[in-house]
Structure 1
Amino acid sequence: MSSVLGAFPAIVNRSVLSPLKILPKKFTSTRFTFGDSADPAQDSAASPPLFTSAKVSDLIKEVPSIESYSPHPLLPLGSLQTIYSAFADTVQVDVVHFKRHVLLLPDGGTLACDVSPPEFDEEGDGKRNTVVINHGLTGGSHESYVRHVIPPLVAAGYRCVVVNFRGCGQTPLSTPQLYSAAKTDDLRCGLLWVTKRFPSTSIVLIGFSLGANVVAKYLGEEGANTPVKGGMVLATPFDLKIGSDALASSALYDRVMSSNLTKKCAVHSGTIALDPAFHAPLRRLIDPKKYAAKYPEDVKQRGVKPGSLKWVDDTLTRLCGGHVAPYGGFPYDSADHYYTNNGSILLLDKVARPLLCLNSDDDPIVPMSMLKEAEQKVKKNSNVVLAITPGGGHLGLWTSPAYASKKETGPGAGSGTKPVRWLGPVAKEWVKAVFDAAEADGGKWRETTDLWSEGKVREVHDVEYDVLCEEEVKPFDFNESNGEEDAKASKERRKREAKADAKALKDELPAGLGSRLPSRVADGEPIGAKGVDTAGTTPSAVSSQGTSRQNSGAATPASFSSAPSSSSSTTSTTTKPVLPTRMAWLLTPLLPDYPLYHPLKPDEPPAFPAHAERRLKGTMRQCVSLPQVGFLELPESTRVAGVGKIFQGGISIEGLGTNVKGERVGAGEEGKKKGVWAQWKGSQPGQGRTVAGL
């Protein structure tokens, strides 16, 4: 009752007085905190240097759209704004097209970078400025808030690149390592690729929610040593511990975010389980109630509510959310240990680029207590400004068409009563202000921040990797009792799918190569099975620890490396065959004392045909000072994660193992098959679909 009464003034102001245009300006004005207002007595030597001659208080004057915000009258509260974000269909409002690039990383991970618009994806074009975007928890380039900011940026002439977290955005997980609020190295890998493909391009970063923490944390870690000109972060959970405590008091958001992340882990559980150390955590994660009933003392000792987002972080994220030493700080002792060491608030005073932090005062996930703490940090750094809007929720910021300009908010957004987002013009104006200020200073510090200056990056040639069907990754057995039965069923399923794969492969490969496959492979028999000719194949050497794999030393068939992409392949039938989803697996160790993982065990032959024909080589560009940062760009012929495809944001890329919601799909009688999560979810009460926008 008290919470309803407390919200009553906001409801009256935003639903009644604002539409009548009699609401005092102070109730719609954005509140700013600048580093310029820091105590003059502070030690100036401890503050980061200004990147441009213009202070952030000057730059913010170039962003008139940020000065005021009024929530849509029907969405006066932060919770309503947040919930509406999860269900609003804006695919045909913010129409965005991407071209996908896929990178294989030095630890074996897979990263997808989506460039928008595709016509700005011209290799070597460094004259056009670039905006690099990080999405929120379990999101991707499909998210509505990501798609919303891109059209105005593109209209201003900027190229946009969304760096999807590993395992997100219809990207397969190819190592037992996830992403997290702590992990900034994947962003570094994306930036390294951007600066290679578009030399001399100027870059500004934008981050949302979890991605906002990653962006702010990265800028604090790098200080003055980044090629990035500036950044903008939205709905940043600056202090992860405060955020976790706030979520604990909100059953709705805690349950939804926990379900989203649990689903993501379940979909990729086959890869995560390649490390036997994660078998027990996966089972604890997927059925917390069962675990709590079986081990009540352990749950009591951990002090974490089963089924909460903190339960996910305490069970799995703290263990595999990033690199282990010496390449990172994982694993952590507990979720609290992970939280207290990785909030971007710890590094706000180290940021040496113009950074706009935009938050709402009624965000149900990022409470005002956290923002008050952030304000104190911002006051110590003249490069950072914190802007707090009166309303907007978490990544909502919905307003009425009458309040927003039709020109700035997209097709069909300037009329009627349907809520439209307010954020686009703000992002465009801030990004332009940062680029203009950096250009006015003549590329200050360009030489010291060039990632590709002499000696910073090495090229490792003939790096081997193989490309396998996604079905080679065996589903993890969440039920310990029926493992034998599941393994048998899985083997039969994989054999059936091998037959379909064999035909698709013969149609896909260049003329002549398909005829050189072993005869029984063409019928879908596994290579290495009894009676199958395996001449020309080389078994890969795998280390004795788990399923971690070392360099196989196999040669690369030149015939496959020149294979055309699936988009250009022809078939002899009128119906194009459903081609199997592909995953790339690194074979050449590039990080000392860091194991590589692979779905095939030493004594297990591939279940799918032409394994040897899919073993390839490429060049890995690797940072000398941070060897975990680098990339090997996969060619379109590998078909991994939709590489080379042009697609519309918000609509699933066809032919991949997951859809845009993160649900497992694949070839089958009806074009879909149930995955691990779907099978498990069907027997569990209260497990809904993935909720977007968080």
Structure 2
Amino acid sequence: MPLVSSNYNPPLFFKNGHLATIYCGLFRKVNGIVQKRERLSLFDGDFLDLDWSDSIVPSNKLVILLHGLEGDGQRPYITGSAKLFNQNGYNACAVNYRGCSGETNKRYRSYHSGVTEDLKEVIDHILKTKDYSEIYIKGFSLGGNLVLKYLGEEETVPKEIRGAVAVSAPCNLHSSCQQLLTFKNILYAIRFKGNLIDKLRQKQVLFPELITDSDIKKIKTLKDFDDIYTSRAHNFKDALDYYTQCSSLQFLPNIEVPSLIINAQDDSFLGSECYPFSEVEQNPNLYLETPKYGGHVGFWGKNNITYTERRALDFFNELGF
């Protein structure tokens, strides 16, 4: 499909990409949502925690929500999405990746931008234990890449999955990493790296022979973290091999489920390769919207409902049966 036009036009303050990103990431609050946690045991003995919230009316529709790097099921962009969907006839399942629900996971491995096998287990679990005729997936940042990769690499996607939305998706992971290593993103990179190293030290207690103090001291950048931990823990040669294998860009031509990508033009985390114009033009199941403003998972909106929350709801409603 051709590029989707966007009418998103926020107030002046939120036309600054960094301010939009920071406000929605650090200052936005979402109240009035009740989540119930379910622990899912994985095939390898590890676990995932799923945070469920219900529609205000009985529903056979579900939205699976996937958070970004070092996020969790309680981040405002997750709870805000869940709340709006709940108010409009959808149940919501917010997935906390391994080690992201407040408790260190059991295995040496954790999560990364391409762990679709864990998403498959979540979907299989839902199909076996619930009765939903319509399932939609909405992913943010890392989660956006994850859902696009999943849809494009699977030969057969369950018929219940009717659509997907990817917000601020780093479709080319190497391009996004290069942006995060630039000076304009230094504060974000420091915050991400600090959180990742804190978790790595917690995991070091369980696996001291695999994670040494010497290794941790070598981590100066986010790429170093992927070279020293992500690639080793998940069987990649190095960070570049991880970025190459897990970027969703190469899987976009194969997607057969209607999918909308919303990447703001002022998103400082995304390089030019993260805007898949040609791939979208060649696949009738893909839609790409590139608002001029929005930042990274920002998209401020009136009444504490972001633009992408309303946009995803409208997109899924249009696909509904």
TM-score by length of 2: 0.92
Residue 119 (structure 1) shift: 7.6
Asked if 1 retains the 8 angstrom alpha-carbon contact of 2:236 and 2:242, the reply is yes
- Whether 1:210 and 2:142 are equivalent positions in the alignment is yes
1:23-51 deviation line (CA, Å, top 9, x unaligned) = xxxxxxxxxxx2xx5xxxxxxxxxxxxxx
1:300-348 deviation line (CA, Å, top 9, x unaligned) = xxxxxx421111111101111x4xxxxxxxx111111111111000100
Q: 1:233 aligns with which of 158, 163, 166?
A: 166
- Whether 1:75 and 2:14 are equivalent positions in the alignment is yes
Match for residue 167 of structure 1?
Answer: 99
Counterparts of 1:86 and 1:204 in 2: how far apart (Å)?
24
Unaligned 5+ runs, structure 1: 1-33, 38-56, 61-65, 289-305, 323-330, 414-419, 440-694
Alignment of 1:334-373 (within 5 A): 334-367=238-271, 369-372=272-275
Match for residue 192 of structure 2?
Answer: 257
Counterparts of 1:258 and 1:85 in 2: how far apart (Å)?
20
Q: 2:220 aligns with which of 298, 304, 307?
A: 307
Asked if 2 retains the 8 angstrom alpha-carbon contact of 1:130 and 1:159, the reply is yes
Q: 1:101 aligns with which of 12, 35, 38?
A: 38
1:427-475 deviation line (CA, Å, top 9, x unaligned) = 21111112x2xx2xxxxxxxxxxxxxxxxxxxxxxxxxxxxxxxxxxxx
Aligned residues: 318
Residue 72 (structure 1) shift: 2.7
Match for residue 433 of structure 1?
Answer: 318
- Which has the greater radius of gyration? 1
* Letter of the 2:136 counterpart: V
Alignment of 1:189-208 (within 5 A): 189-208=121-140
- Whether 1:387 and 2:320 are equivalent positions in the alignment is no
Instruction: Give the SS at the match of 1:225.
Output: coil
1:244-278 deviation line (CA, Å, top 9, x unaligned) = 1111113222222222222222233323x16x3x2
Counterparts of 2:56 and 2:232 in 1: how far apart (Å)?
41
Counterparts of 1:421 and 1:200 in 2: how far apart (Å)?
26
Residue 222 (structure 1) shift: 1.3
Counterparts of 2:244 and 2:118 in 1: how far apart (Å)?
21
Counterparts of 2:132 and 2:56 in 1: how far apart (Å)?
19
Over the aligned positions, Cα root-mean-square deviation in angstroms equals 2.1
Instruction: Give the SS at the match of 2:81.
Output: helix
* Letter of the 1:86 counterpart: G
1:540-567 deviation line (CA, Å, top 9, x unaligned) = xxxxxxxxxxxxxxxxxxxxxxxxxxxx
Instruction: Give the SS at the match of 2:295.
Output: coil
TM-score by length of 1: 0.44
Instruction: Give the SS at the match of 1:270.
Output: helix
Structure with bigger helix share is 2
Residue 223 (structure 1) shift: 4.4
Bigger RCO (CA 8 Å, 6+ sep): 2
Q: 2:53 aligns with which of 104, 107, 116?
A: 116
Counterparts of 2:36 and 2:178 in 1: how far apart (Å)?
39
Alignment of 1:403-422 (within 5 A): 404=302, 409=303, 413=304, 421-422=306-307
Instruction: Give the SS at the match of 1:389.
Output: coil
Instruction: Give the SS at the match of 1:379.
Output: helix
Residue 112 (structure 1) shift: 0.8
* Letter of the 1:318 counterpart: S
Match for residue 573 of structure 1?
Answer: none
Counterparts of 1:433 and 1:180 in 2: how far apart (Å)?
31
Asked if 1 retains the 8 angstrom alpha-carbon contact of 2:55 and 2:91, the reply is no
Residue 79 (structure 1) shift: 1.3
1:466-509 deviation line (CA, Å, top 9, x unaligned) = xxxxxxxxxxxxxxxxxxxxxxxxxxxxxxxxxxxxxxxxxxxx
Counterparts of 1:347 and 1:242 in 2: how far apart (Å)?
16
- Whether 1:284 and 2:215 are equivalent positions in the alignment is yes
Match for residue 81 of structure 2?
Answer: 149
Asked if 2 retains the 8 angstrom alpha-carbon contact of 1:98 and 1:114, the reply is yes
Instruction: Give the SS at the match of 2:237.
Output: coil
Alignment of 1:579-618 (within 5 A): none
* Letter of the 1:249 counterpart: T
Counterparts of 1:172 and 1:335 in 2: how far apart (Å)?
23
Residue 200 (structure 1) shift: 4.4
